Amino acid sequence: MISVNVSTASQNALETIRQNLVTFADHYPNDTTTSNVYALRRAQNGFGEGANYGWTTSFWPGVLWLAYDLTGEDTYLCAAQEHIQSFIQRIEGKIDLDTHDIGFLYTLSCVVPWRITANIQAKHAALKAAEQLMTRYIDKIGVFQAWGKLDNPELRGNTIIDSLMNMPMLYWASEITGESRFAQAAHRHTTRVAENIIRPNNTTYHSFYWDVETGVPLRGSTVQGFADDSCWARGQAWAIYGFTLNYRYTSDESFLDAAQRCADYFLDHLPADHVPYWDLVFTDGSAEERDSSAAAIAVCGLIELVHYLSEGDRQRRYQTAAEAILSSLVANYTPRNLSESNALLLHSVYDKPKAIGVDEGSLWGDYYYMEALTRTLKPDWKVYW
C-alpha cells in the first residue's frame, strides 16, 4: 500500500520540476545548489552558461523522464526529448568525456529515450557512448579507468566505486549489438572491483589503484570520504545499487553477495533518522553533515535488491529499511515550498574535503529521490539502468 506522504511528496516534486522547466528548459543546472537554489550551470573553460559539460547533466533529463513515467504528460516527454540533441553533439564532438561517467551521462539521456520512444538517434548516440567508454578499459588490469587521460601518470590504473553504475550501459550495448565484448568488460570490471574495493569488514574504498604494467592491485584510498580507511556514505550506497544492477545482467552470485554485504554495513551504521552522515564513520551526536543523496541512492538499490532475494528476514529487512529511509527523506529532507528551494531534496554533500556542495541540493540526489518515489508509486516501473 502506498503511503500518503510518498504520494504527496511526488506531487510536490512534480510541482518543483514544472517550475524548473521554466528556469532551465533545455539547459543544465549546476551540480549542486548554492544556498539551496540551483542556477544555470556556470560558464567556464570555454563552455557557456547552462552548457552540457561535467558528469551530472543527464540527471536533469533523467528527472524529466521519471516525471513522464509517473504522469504520462506530454509536457515532460517533450522536455526530456529536447535534451537528446545536446548529448548527440557531445558524443560526436567527444566533449568533456575523459571519464567513466559516460555511463551516467548516456544511460539517462539516450538509452532511456530509446527504450521509451524507440528514438533511433538516441540509440546511435548511446552506442557511440558505449564505444567511447570502452576506450577507457585497460585489459591488463580488467578495469575502466575512472578519470582523466589514460596516459596521466597520477590517474593511470585508477577506478572508483561509482563506476559500477556505469556498467549497465555496456550490458545494454551487448544486447543491442549482439557483441559480447561490452558485457564481458563490464563483468570483469565489476569482479575486480568486488575483489579489491570491498574490505574484509564490508566497507568500501572510494578509489583503488592497480599497476597497469603487471595488473597487480596496489592500494585503496578516498577522494571525497573522511579518510582512506573510513567508509564514504555515497560510495557505500553506490556499491549497494551498483553490485545489484550488475547481478541483474549477469546472474553472478558473487555480485549479489557483495550487494548484501555492503547493504548490511550501510544499514548497521545509520543514525536514528535513517539518513547517513556523509561518511559512515560519523554517528548521532556528530556535528557533521548528512548526505541525503546517499540515502536516496541506497533506497533505489535496496528496492532493486529485494527483487532477487527469496522471502526471509534479510529481504524483509531491506524492504523495511527502504521504506524507513524514504519516509525520513520525505519528512525531513525536502523543501517546505518553492520559495525555500528549487531542489527536490535538501542536505546532500558533494565533496566535504574540498568544501564543495556541502549541505546543498544535488542533481544526483534529486534524480535518485525521484526514482525512489517512482519505484514506490509504480512497482512495475521498468528500470532505466
Please give the positions annotated as active site.
Answer: 101, 162
Considering Cα of 256, then 257, then 261, then 262, what sign does the dihedral take?
negative
- DSSP letter at 140? T
Distance, in Å, from the CA atom of 385 to the CA atom of 382, rounded to the nearest integer, reads: 9
User: How wide is the angle at C-alpha 118 spanned by C-alphas 116 and 123, nearest 5°?
Assistant: 105
From CA 205, how far away is CA 224, in angstroms rounded? 10
Phi first, then psi, for residue 32 (nearest 5°) are -135, 165
Residues in CB range of 344: below 8 A, 6 or more apart: 13, 16, 17, 63, 334, 335, 361, 365, 366, 369, 370
Query: Which residue in this structure is represented by grid cell 541506497?
Result: 298
- Alpha carbon distance 207, 119 (integer Å): 36
Q: How many CA atoms lie within 13 A of 42 on its CB side?
A: 6
Taking alpha carbons only, the member of 78, 72, 69, 62 closest to residue 29 is: 62
Q: What amino acid is encoded at 2 in this protein?
A: I
Rounded Cα distance between 167 and 185, Å, is: 9
Which residues have a Cβ under 8 Å from the Cβ of 342 and sit 6 or more positions away?
16, 19, 20, 23, 33, 37, 38, 361
Which grid cell is 63? 528527472
* 38: CB partners within 8 A, 6+ apart: 20, 23, 24, 29, 30, 32, 342, 343, 361
H helices, E strands: number in the chain: 14, 7
Contact 325, 274 (CB under 8 A): yes
Residue for grid cell 587521460: 149
Residue pair 195/250 in contact (Cβ under 8 Å)? The answer is: no
Sign of the C-alpha dihedral, residues 250, 251, 257, 259? Answer: positive
Q: Is 269:282 a contact under the CB 8 Å cutoff?
A: no
